[in-house]
Amino acid sequence: MTLRRTTALLGITTLAVVAAACGSDDASTTGTTVAGAPRTTQATPVSDKCTSSGATFTAATGVDVAGSTAFTKIKSAGKVIVGVKADQPNLGYKDTDGKRCGFDIEMAQLIASKLGIEPSKIEYKEIPSANRETEIKAGGIDYYVGTYSITDKRKAEVGFAGPYFVAGQDLLVRKSDTSITGKDTLKGKKVCSATGSTPLQLVRAEALTEPANISEFKTYSECVSQLVDKQTDAVTTDDAILKGFAAQSPSQLKVVGKPFSVEKYGIGLPLADKAFRDKVNEILAASFTDGTWQKIYDSSLGKSGSPASPPPLEPY
């Protein structure tokens, strides 16, 4: 999608990327800058249309997962309820026609099909990051796919299959900017992130730039609007999210440097259902080796121009 400056601000601002695995849902309702008055950029309906990777997900037959209460529930219902995000371009995204697409959405469809459920039988449930553990534990969803970092704290509450992707905090800059090549080149540069997010906390804790150069807004899309408008020099959050923005505007934006944190994205599952976790890990492993994972990635996050390969599974 080619964006001129005037349309870029409108188009990118529509993408309300509020939270990521390394972010927070405690953002304020208005954007603020450290040195300026509050800004209230409002998100409007997303206009971008979803596209598919072309991968075909056909429900497997004769599937059984012995000893899994989660699978028994899915098989009995004839459908699967999947927790997702809806505002992350090329990850978990819902367009104005109600169509869903992105890397996480297609991974969710792949898993469903290998469990014997047609993608048309998936019920998507949009869940804020702060409510993920609650929904999984309460049985409100069968599994969750949405930039969900595997951490020891979370593993005490829910189960995880994966990781199926490894992200890390990185930087989004204008395509023409050659002065920023990584976190060590941020001194004197203006940096933007979401209010209350851990990327923002890291920028401050490590003094990557001067306090007066740090700005914060409710959503990452507002930061991207600032970047396009040359009001900030870099946006920082998980590289997976940044790749989504870069993929939407490859002629204007790029992700630079090496990630400077590690975020292992996993499939959130019921804690005690090891049989189900093992089955989902088996599905992921097969997609890594048969090329399906790569096809999904290349057609979504890969549009940013940043290559990636499947990570090693860490079953437990």
| 241 and 267 inside one domain | no
Both tokens of 172, joined, read 């989004």
| 218 and 275 inside one domain | no
| 176 and 163 inside one domain | no
Backbone angles phi, psi at 191, to 5 degrees: -125, 140
| 154 and 242 inside one domain | no
| Structure confidence at residue 105 (pLDDT) | 97
| 198 and 232 inside one domain | yes
Q: Is the residue at 133 inside a domain? A: yes
| 157 and 202 inside one domain | no
| 125 and 270 inside one domain | yes
| Structure confidence at residue 134 (pLDDT) | 96
Range of the domain at 291: 69-167+262-304
Q: Is the residue at 47 inside a domain? A: no
| 163 and 268 inside one domain | yes
Cα 294 to Cα 36, 133, 228, 245, distances in angstroms: 44, 29, 30, 20
Both tokens of 105, joined, read 């959405």
Q: Is the residue at 225 inside a domain? A: yes
Cα 36 from chain centre: 30
| Structure confidence at residue 32 (pLDDT) | 43
**To the nearest whole percent, how much of the chain has pLDDT over 70?**
84
Q: Is the residue at 49 inside a domain? A: no
What does pTM read for this prediction? Answer: 0.75
Cα 310 from chain centre: 16
| 140 and 283 inside one domain | yes
| 271 and 195 inside one domain | no
Q: Is the residue at 63 inside a domain? A: no
Instruction: Return the CATH number at 147.
Output: 3.40.190.10
Backbone angles phi, psi at 284, to 5 degrees: -60, -45
Report the domain count for the chain: 2
pLDDT per residue, tens digit, the chain (316 aa), is: 444 443 444 444 444 333 333 443 333 333 444 433 333 333 333 347 887 777 789 999 999 999 999 999 999 999 999 999 887 888 999 998 999 999 999 999 999 999 999 999 999 999 888 789 999 999 999 999 998 889 898 999 999 999 999 999 999 999 999 999 999 999 999 999 987 677 888 899 999 999 999 999 877 888 999 999 999 999 999 888 898 888 888 899 999 999 998 889 999 999 999 999 999 999 999 999 999 999 999 998 888 777 899 999 999 9
User: Tens digit of pLDDT for each residue in 129-187?
Assistant: 878 999 999 999 999 999 888 989 899 999 999 999 999 999 999 999 999 999 999 99
Contact 164, 277 (CB under 8 A): no
| 116 and 188 inside one domain | no
Cα 263 to Cα 28, 80, 151, 199, distances in angstroms: 24, 26, 9, 12
| Structure confidence at residue 107 (pLDDT) | 98
| 152 and 285 inside one domain | yes
